[in-house]
């Protein structure tokens, strides 16, 4: 059994013991056996499952439409927050800001603990920061195989819960936790409090009423590691050893390096801490989202209800009763013999509406040939970086295909990572022939893969239209243009939205004809800029 899996099992048991004192558990993992096994370990909490589309009426309760009509008076149904002992938030990385605010408010009021099931595809994605700050422990399950999933039997949780309130923390270990959090660059006061609670829960699980150093090291790995500020990449010479005569060499400071800082820095997989730090910085400036918006009657973010028929969606009980209330006096006069307390007409019925969002991939197919390649590539780089900064709000991914010489190359695979994009785009070469058909082929392939994975796809072609390299890599302008038209017909047959940006100094009819074959919009920008290009892509 791997160390990471042992730590995950211990975190689940600690949450079953401490509950609200730890806020919850952030599980970062795609669906799989490891996550299922860990969730089954949390069965004693009986978590109530919710999703990003959960509305206020489900959380806080609301009117029971069927019961109210049968009883002749308004009856209310209990909300999830009032009856649940724990919450299981699925797809936490897609949690909208409104739901995150409700759950954060519940945690601040000593509400049920929350399990954040994070299925982020990129290292720099994360659930809303307001929830991550209030959930004490973090467990990444990437890299844990089936052979690692052996777990010890569940301990006597009832006895551990009895011991937990009486567990004490020695003063030197408490000082070590506080000093270690400061050395890791953690500014929130919740982190050391969560770490102390996790250490006490670990001691209670072992039947002890006093925390030891091993408990504190485990707590540091669970509660402090993911909140640490990553060290700079260009690390200078290591700092000199501490002077025994200085105040910062107190026992708490020295102990912090051994049992807090070192376990915390070794707890996470390489690169994950940097990705989480980037995600926290992005969350500070950009609100979360979940893709392109489209209205739905079944799932998604709740919108204002509208009058409608019950067979076309779910009835909104509150909105229906609100619409019927002003007409009760008039209706009783018209139907004096009707014994029902609430008279509802078909025109009162309101149907729920939702805003469903889907992921989209924007594929930039950029002409990197000829003397004007430097300008086009600079514009494309600027557009990609600007789109990536907004991608967290729109849930978009971007990819970049550059074609030059006699072939096309996927310079930037589909990603939402701004760090990866900047690294791949730096020093992108240009010059050579213009294999336009090869570039469209590569872009079409990425778009089709995205479609098969359930995402939307959009192609953005930046070129001057002077194709001169055919698909068989021969220099033949006429054949090259015919090949490009053939690929364009395939793109249109796949119904992939496209935008053709003419970057030539003198826009001509060649690219207009290609855009017509693609069924795409055409934009003539001899001096295309990233802002104008982003506006066109958004439109």
Q: What is the pLDDT of residues 176-189, one digit of tens each?
A: 888 888 888 888 88
In a domain, 15, yes or no: yes
The whole-angstrom separation of Cα 107 and Cα 115 is 12
Q: Which two tokens stand for residue 499?
A: 């935008």
User: Of the ranges 83-87, 401-405, 522-526, which one carries the lowest mean pLDDT score?
Assistant: 522-526
Instruction: Tell me how far the alpha carbon of residue 101 is from its chain's centroid.
Output: 16
- The residues that bridge with 168 in the sheet, in sequence order, are 210
Q: Please tell me the total count of domains within the chain.
A: 3
Per the model's pLDDT, the better-predicted residue between 169 and 377 turns out to be: 169
In a domain, 58, yes or no: no
What are the phi and psi torsion angles at 483 (to 5°)?
-65, -40
How confident is residue 165, by pLDDT bands cut at 50, 70 and 90? very high
Residues 378 and 489 in one domain: yes
Q: What is the predicted pLDDT for the residue at 275? A: 59
* Residue 410 DSSP one-character state: E
Residues 349 and 403 in one domain: no
Contact present, 159 and 153 (Cβ < 8 Å): no
Which residues, other chains included, contact 72 with Cβ-Cβ below 8 Å and sequence gap of 6+?
Answer: 339, 340, 341, 342
CA max distance for the chain: 94
- Give, in order, the Cα–Cα distances in Å from 105 to each of 99, 101, 131, 154, 206: 10, 6, 10, 32, 33
In a domain, 56, yes or no: no
How confident is residue 274, by pLDDT bands cut at 50, 70 and 90? low
The whole-angstrom separation of Cα 330 and Cα 344 is 12
Residues 349 and 372 in one domain: no
Domain end residue (candidates: 332, 355, 378): 355
pLDDT average, residue stretch 225-247:
56
Contact present, 447 and 496 (Cβ < 8 Å): yes
Give per-residue pLDDT as tens, 402-412: 888 888 888 88
Which residues, other chains included, contact 330 with Cβ-Cβ below 8 Å and sequence gap of 6+?
Answer: none
Residues 34 and 161 in one domain: yes
In a domain, 495, yes or no: yes
Q: Which residues of 113-137 are buried (b: 16+ CB within 10 A; e: fewer)?
A: bbbbbbbbebbbbbbbbbbbbbbbb
Q: What is the predicted pLDDT for the residue at 121? A: 61
In a domain, 290, yes or no: no
3-class DSSP assignment, residue 466: coil
Domain end residue (candidates: 308, 336, 355): 355
- Give, in order, the Cα–Cα distances in Å from 327 to each of 10, 75, 244, 333: 59, 20, 82, 10
Q: What share of the chain in percent tops pLDDT 70?
A: 70
pLDDT average, residue stretch 432-442:
87
Extract the runs of DSSP E, i.e. beta strands, from 445-515: 456-463, 498-502
Give per-residue pLDDT as tens, 379-399: 666 666 666 666 545 667 888
The whole-angstrom separation of Cα 34 and Cα 144 is 7
Residues 405 and 437 in one domain: yes
The whole-angstrom separation of Cα 338 and Cα 248 is 82
How confident is residue 193, by pLDDT bands cut at 50, 70 and 90? very high
- pTM score: 0.54
Residues 339 and 367 in one domain: no
Q: What is the predicted pLDDT for the residue at 246? A: 46
Q: What is the predicted pLDDT for the residue at 399? A: 84
What are the phi and psi torsion angles at 358 (to 5°)?
-130, 150
The whole-angstrom separation of Cα 357 and Cα 293 is 5
Q: Which two tokens stand for residue 386?
A: 């600007």
Nearest to 89 by CA among 133, 56, 119, 125: 119
Residues 411 and 521 in one domain: yes
Domain end residue (candidates: 324, 355, 386): 355
User: Of the ranges 178-182, 447-451, 502-506, which one carries the lowest mean pLDDT score?
Assistant: 502-506
239, pLDDT greater than 50:
no
252, pLDDT greater than 60:
no
Residues 7 and 132 in one domain: yes
Q: What is the predicted pLDDT for the residue at 521? A: 81
Q: What is the predicted pLDDT for the residue at 197? A: 93
CA angle, corner 237, sides to 233 and 239, nearest 5?
110
How confident is residue 196, by pLDDT bands cut at 50, 70 and 90? very high
In a domain, 64, yes or no: no
* Residue 452 DSSP one-character state: H
How confident is residue 235, by pLDDT bands cut at 50, 70 and 90? very low
Which residues, other chains included, contact 42 with Cβ-Cβ below 8 Å and sequence gap of 6+?
Answer: 12, 15, 16, 25, 86, 115
pLDDT average, residue stretch 315-326:
84
Residues 345 and 364 in one domain: no
Q: What is the predicted pLDDT for the residue at 520? A: 83
The whole-angstrom separation of Cα 264 and Cα 198 is 14
* Residue 257 DSSP one-character state: I
Residues 271 and 315 in one domain: no
CATH number at residue 387: 3.40.50.410
Which residues, other chains included, contact 123 with Cβ-Cβ below 8 Å and sequence gap of 6+?
Answer: 271, 272, 274, 275, 276, 278, 417
What are the phi and psi torsion angles at 95 (to 5°)?
-65, 125
Which of 84-93, 227-236, 294-303 ranks highest by mean pLDDT?
Answer: 84-93
Range of the domain at 174: 3-47+84-145+156-230+250-281
Residues 25 and 164 in one domain: yes
In a domain, 293, yes or no: no
User: Of the ranges 16-25, 85-94, 307-316, 503-512, which one carries the lowest mean pLDDT score?
Assistant: 307-316
Residues 204 and 305 in one domain: no
CA angle, corner 129, sides to 128 and 135, nearest 5?
95
* Residue 297 DSSP one-character state: S
In a domain, 137, yes or no: yes
255, pLDDT greater than 60:
no
What are the phi and psi torsion angles at 234 (to 5°)?
-90, 70
Burial class (CB in 10 A: 0-12, 13-18, 19+), 66: exposed
**Secondary structure of 42-91 in the HEC alphabet?**
CHHHCCEEECCCCCHHHHHCEECHHHHHHHCCCCEECCHHHHCCEEEECC
Pairing between β-strand 350-351 and β-strand 306-307 as defined by DSSP bridges: antiparallel
The whole-angstrom separation of Cα 417 and Cα 453 is 19
Which residues, other chains included, contact 180 with Cβ-Cβ below 8 Å and sequence gap of 6+?
Answer: 220, 224, 256, 257, 259, 260, 261, 264
């Amino acid at each position: 059994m791997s160390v990471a899996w042992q730590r995950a099992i211990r975190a689940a048991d600690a949450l079953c013991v401490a509950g609200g004192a730890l806020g919850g558990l952030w599980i970062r993992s795609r669906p799989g056996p490891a996550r299922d096994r860990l969730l089954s370990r949390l069965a004693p909490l009986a978590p109530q499952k919710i999703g990003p589309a959960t509305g206020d009426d489900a959380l806080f309760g609301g009117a029971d439409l069927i019961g109210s009509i049968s009883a002749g008076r308004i009856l209310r149904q209990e909300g999830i927050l009032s009856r649940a002992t724990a919450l299981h938030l699925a797809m936490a990385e897609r949690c909208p800001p409104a739901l995150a605010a409700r759950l954060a408010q519940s945690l601040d009021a000593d509400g049920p603990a929350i399990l954040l099931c994070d299925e982020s595809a990129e290292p720099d994605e994360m659930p809303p920061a307001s929830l991550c700050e209030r959930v004490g422990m973090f467990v990444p399950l990437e890299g844990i195989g089936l052979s690692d999933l052996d777990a010890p039997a569940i301990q006597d949780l009832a006895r551990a819960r009895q011991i937990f309130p009486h567990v004490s923390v020695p003063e030197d270990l408490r000082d070590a936790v506080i000093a270690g959090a400061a050395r890791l660059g953690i500014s929130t006061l919740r982190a050391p409090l969560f770490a102390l609670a996790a250490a006490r829960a670990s001691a209670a699980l072992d039947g002890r009423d006093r925390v030891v150093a091993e408990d504190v090291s485990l707590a540091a790995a669970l509660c402090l590691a993911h909140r640490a500020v990553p060290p700079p990449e260009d690390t200078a010479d290591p700092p000199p050893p501490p002077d025994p005569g200085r105040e910062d060499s107190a026992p708490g400071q020295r102990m912090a390096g051994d049992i807090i800082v070192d376990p915390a820095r070794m707890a996470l997989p390489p690169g994950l801490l940097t990705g989480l730090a980037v995600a926290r910085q992005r969350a500070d400036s950009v609100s979360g989202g979940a893709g392109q918006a489209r209205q739905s009657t079944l799932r998604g973010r709740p919108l204002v209800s509208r009058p409608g028929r019950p067979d076309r969606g779910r009835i909104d009980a509150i909105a229906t009763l609100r619409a019927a209330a002003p007409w009760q006096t008039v209706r009783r006069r018209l139907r004096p013999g009707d014994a029902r307390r609430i008279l509802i007409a078909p025109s009162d019925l309101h149907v729920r509406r939702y805003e469903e969002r889907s992921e989209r991939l924007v594929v930039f197919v950029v002409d990197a040939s000829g003397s004007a390649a430097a300008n086009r590539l600079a514009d494309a780089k600027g557009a990609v970086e600007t789109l990536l900064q907004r991608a967290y709000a729109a849930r978009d991914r971007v990819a970049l295909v550059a074609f030059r010489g006699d072939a096309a190359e996927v310079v930037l695979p589909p990603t939402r990572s701004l760090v990866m994009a900047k690294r791949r785009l730096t020093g992108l070469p240009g010059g050579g022939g213009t294999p336009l058909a090869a570039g469209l082929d590569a872009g079409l392939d990425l778009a089709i893969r995205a479609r098969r994975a359930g995402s939307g796809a959009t192609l953005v072609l930046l070129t001057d239209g002077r194709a001169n390299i055919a698909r068989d890599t021969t220099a033949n302008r006429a054949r090259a243009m015919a090949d490009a038209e053939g690929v364009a017909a395939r793109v249109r047959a796949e119904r992939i939205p496209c935008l053709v940006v003419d970057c030539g100094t003198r826009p001509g009819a060649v690219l207009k004809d290609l855009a017509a074959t693609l069924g795409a919009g055409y934009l003539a920008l001899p001096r295309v800029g990233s802002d104008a290009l982003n506006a066109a892509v958004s439109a």
